[in-house]
Amino acid sequence: MAVIAVQQIRRMRGGAQSQLMLGADDHLYVVKFQNNPQHLRVLANELMATRLAEAAGLTVPACEVIEVSEWLVANNSELDMELSRSRESCLPGLQFGSRFVGGLMPGQVVDFLPEEMLLEVRNLHEFPGILALDKWTCNGNGRQAVFSKKYREKRYLATFVDQGYCFNAGEWKFVDAPLRGVFARNAVYHEVIGWESFEPWLGRIENMAADKIWSIAETVPPEWYGGDTGALERLVEQLIGAAGTSPGADW
């Protein structure tokens, strides 16, 4: 069941021209719309890759399907898209929503840390894990993360966000691109010495049940991929083949 959007808060940075919105469940969401300038399929990519990352035990925001009504769009001039030669209203209907890191009462949320603080991030060990997932899902963008902590906490927690360019964005192809999906600051990989540095996440990906991957894909609204179920099925089969999973996997 979709979460109903009840209020637009502000525009967000980024090429998808997302909006920060309040849901009827009292959570804030970063909402990407179907008619965003990047591609319709980035909504499907976000939902699938975020839930695959969650299934692998990585720190990602909760995500939901968000329903934005025609009334809310018609009565809010900020709900529009700036295109190359024009502007158009955001399309009402089912959109992708990523839970806003920090929630309604955030402590400190930043997207950049000095290196000495970056190396003290509580889950620094997850960066090789999200890299494994980005390679599996063919993330065509650099890895994005935000860092948060409560006011009395000393160390930040990394949350991995923006999975829209997984599956090579709108193309849904798996290409050989070694430098894609990498976090911009190599210091987060300073303890990587071999394949063992990517565990336990690599093993979790390799042993993820095919049924689990299919069940995640089935949560994607058909309008996010133009109703082309054949394309979605081919994408899932490629994911399963790349991971080496089988219907009998029990993880």
pLDDT, one tens digit per residue, over 194-251 is: 999 999 999 999 999 999 999 999 999 999 999 999 999 999 999 999 887 544 443 3
- Answer whether 50's CB lies under 8 Å from 60's CB: yes
pLDDT per residue as tens digits for the range 88-122: 999 999 999 999 998 877 679 999 999 999 999 99
Number of CB atoms found within 10 A of residue 193's CB = 8
Two structure tokens written together for 99: 């839970």
Angle between helices 210-217 and 229-243 (to 10 degrees): 150
What would the pLDDT profile of 155-194 be if each residue is shown by its tens digit? 999 999 999 999 999 999 998 888 889 999 999 999 999 9
- What is residue 154's predicted lDDT score, i.e. its pLDDT? 92
3-state SS, residue 169: helix
Average pLDDT, the chain: 94
At position 235, the amino acid (one-letter code) is: L
Contact by Cβ (8 Å): 106, 159: no
Query: Which pLDDT value is given to residue 106?
Result: 63
DSSP annotation of 154 reads: S
- The predicted model gives 60-77 an average pLDDT of 97
Q: Are 121 and 155 a contacting pair, CB within 8 Å?
A: yes
Q: What average pLDDT does range 50-66 have in this prediction?
A: 98
